[in-house]
Amino acid sequence: MPLDPFHLAESLQAKAAPELIDADRDHLRRITDTLEAQRADVMSRLTAVQRQEAQLGDGAVDRDLEIRRLSGRLRVLQRYRMDVCLGRMSPEDGEPVYIGRVGLAAADGSRLLIDWRTPAAEPFFAATMENPRGLLSRRRYRWTDGRISDYWDEALADAALDGAASLDDQSAFIAGLGAHRTARMRDVLATIQADQDAIIRTPSPGALVVDGGPGTGKTVVALHRAAHLLYAEPRLTQSAGGMLLVGPHAHYLAYVEDVLPSLGEDTVRLSTLRDLVPEGASAARDEDPPAAALKASLDPVTMLEKATKWFERPPQRAMRLESPWADLWMSREEWTELFSGADPALSHNEARDGVWEEVLELLTDQVHDGDVPPHLIRRWLRQDEELTGTFVRAWPMLSPTAVVARLWSVPEFLRHCAPELSPREIALLQREVPDAWTIADLPFLDAARRRIGDPDAVREEHRRQFVISSAQEQISHVVDHLIEDDDSEMKVMSILRGQDARNVLLGVDAPPALAPDELAGPFAHIVVDEAQELSDAEWRMLLARCPSRSLTIVGDRAQARHGFTESWEERLTRVGLRDVRIAHLSVNYRTPAEVMAEAEPEIRAAIPDANVPTSVRESGTPVHHGVVDSLPGLLRTWLDGHPDGVACVIGAPEFPPTARVRSLTPEDSKGLEFDLVVLVRPEQFGHDITGAVDRYVSMTRSTRQLVVLR
């Protein structure tokens, strides 16, 4: 007997009436059968394509594309069972329409599920009593272990109240908000509200700021908007640059990493600001706040442009070379012209090769002896110590890290790159160990890598080109020898002079090109969470990766640890964003009213106009105050009484974490949520704005209970 999709508790038996759920039960079983059939079909087709004989040219490309397409479809089908269905909506005219994480059609062509991202599915999320969008009612499912453990109906028109609904309305939804948490963000797609859905479906052009207090679903909106945009706007897919999600810390990325794949999107790259730069993994937190604040206000791109130009200095005198064929000349003006003609789209180290080749060409053209092959002249020039030495001094290969370290160790160099700095500020930025990298250095290291380039990558490409050139030369000799010795009537060896044949031969020995930096961009769209913490310099790191200026920016000005007194428009305009739209969220779905009553005074004391959201539910559990010594026993009692859920101790770094109890700082708890939050010695965070924000953030991580220990 097939598994019953419904598994309702004894207390919900009124909802188990056949007239309420039999139609859903039959439809969900059809979905299960169709998924199984499609999985088998796609698996069979994928196996057949993979067994096809390898081809060349367009045939190979078509085969690879088909394998990729079928593999992607198979991943989607394998991820879901009947819980692919979110619920149904009943229109005023016609049969119920079922909404799914993906679209699904039966073998006879009938539509079983409408993809939640399609315009046809929008009323399921957007309809309200004031604007029912043509619906009589809406039903949402609550899935537990692959079966429906609860559901709730919302009557959107008077006609739907007459026995058509379970008349539960919002109670199941409110109860669901308090469900226990796990180490991963729980699935909330079925509970997306109308205000959130309107933001999710906003088109991508420009910068959209999702502003809201704790618990308003900002992260949920950002992640679902990312999935919606990738579906609705194909130009944002990988071929156009793809999408990058930037989170505040590694704990956050681990928490949300499964959300987008569960929505059918597995191409979005996840990163923290640290991940964007190789030195980020070992960079220390800044222990010199004044120096860090000064760096945050600077423009690394402009500074590194000046720093790079410092090293691109054409020789200031003419040069004469006595070659075996003629005296060769390079005037001061020619040096200057060649240097100024470097490709501006290339980094310093990459453009260096182009300038060097221009130098060689200009000198080679001065030899008018037609009997001398140009490659012999160029070989001689490359071996001339005076020429190569002059060029290396005028345009050296640079290390990005060495250039940034020079900023913090050579006052004259820093003054050249940032002439607006005062002598006191220049002295403030100098340090004994210039390459002891901190978080505040990351925007400068990133700008340096972009403007200067990776010298190791350039050298590796030189080696690769040398191997290819040597292979070409060797193959040319072999081909010439084979053709010369070919005594066949048809002279079949002559086909080796064809370019296709040479390409095949070269492809065997040519080393692969270096893998590109996957986080370097450009990206078609960037999602930034906890964006209120970004400095101007850090914003420029992200904008360098997003030339389209298409961003989803998520944050709360009241949760900025160092203050955020200006508006979003003012902050973003200053760093180069123009088309800025603001969407506000004001309903707190996460934090119980009891906890918000304790947290609100903390932030109001520091930020009177803070955007404190209104909680929609009460937990029935008051905030508990105790002493620090009670922490071990308190946690044991909670764990014994709660077989599920996750707790977090904030403010006690010495406390060892366990499988179900995290130990974090206020900063590392941002973006996360826990059933129980134990805040240890909140006064230790200080009484300035940073301390107030740390206490506010820590308290509002709770979804059920808050304990404060002093």
Q: What is the pLDDT of residues 511-549, one digit of tens each?
A: 666 667 889 889 999 999 999 999 999 999 999 999 999
Give the tens place of pLDDT for each residue, 98-119: 999 889 999 999 999 999 999 9
Dihedrals phi, psi of 581, to nearest 5 degrees: -115, 145
d(CA 653, CA 111): 54
Confidence of residue 222 (pLDDT cuts 50, 70, 90): very high
Question: What was the pLDDT predicted at 473?
Answer: 59
For residue 429, count CB atoms less than 10 angstroms from its CB and return exposed for 0-12, middle for 13-18, buried for 19 or more.
buried
- What band does 181 get if pLDDT is binned at 50, 70 and 90? low
- Residue 486's pLDDT is 65
CB 346 within 8 A of CB 354: yes
Contact of 566 with 558, CB cutoff 8 Å:
no
pLDDT bin (cut points 50, 70, 90) of residue 73 is confident
How would you class 415 by CB atoms within 10 Å of its CB: exposed for 0-12, middle for 13-18, buried for 19 or more?
Answer: middle
Distance CA(196)–CA(228), nearest Å, equals: 13
- pLDDT at position 550 is 95
Token digits for 644? 């599920």
Q: Is the pLDDT of residue 559 over 50?
A: yes
Question: pLDDT, tens digit, for every residue of 201-218?
Answer: 999 999 999 999 999 999
In this prediction, residue 165 carries a pLDDT of: 46
Predicted local distance difference test score (pLDDT) of residue 672 = 93
**pLDDT computed for residue 190 by the predictor:** 76
pLDDT digits (tens, 9 = 90+) for 51-63: 887 665 566 777 8
pLDDT score, position 649: 97
Q: In this predicted structure, what is the pLDDT of residue 205?
A: 92
Residue 437 and residue 402 in contact, taking contact as beta carbons nearer than 8 Å: no
Nearest alpha carbon to residue 534 among 551, 512, 518, 513? 551
Total residue count of the chain as it appears in this document: 710
pLDDT, mean over the chain: 88
pLDDT, position 164:
45
pLDDT at 63 (0 to 100):
81
Residue 574: CB atoms within 10 Å: 11
Q: Give me the percent of the chain exceeding a pLDDT of 70.
A: 86
Q: What is the DSSP annotation of 604-659?
A: HHH-TT--PPEES---S-PPEEE-GGGHHHHHHHHHHH-SS--EEEES-TTSPP-S
In 516-617, the DSSP E strands lie at 525-528, 551-555, 580-585, 587-588, 614-615
pLDDT at 502: 52
Q: What is the pTM of this model?
A: 0.85
Nearest to 27 by CA among 119, 115, 131, 111: 111
Q: How far is CA 7 from the centre of its chain?
A: 38
pLDDT confidence of 675, banded at 50, 70, 90? very high
Q: Please report the pLDDT score of residue 508 as a whole number.
A: 47
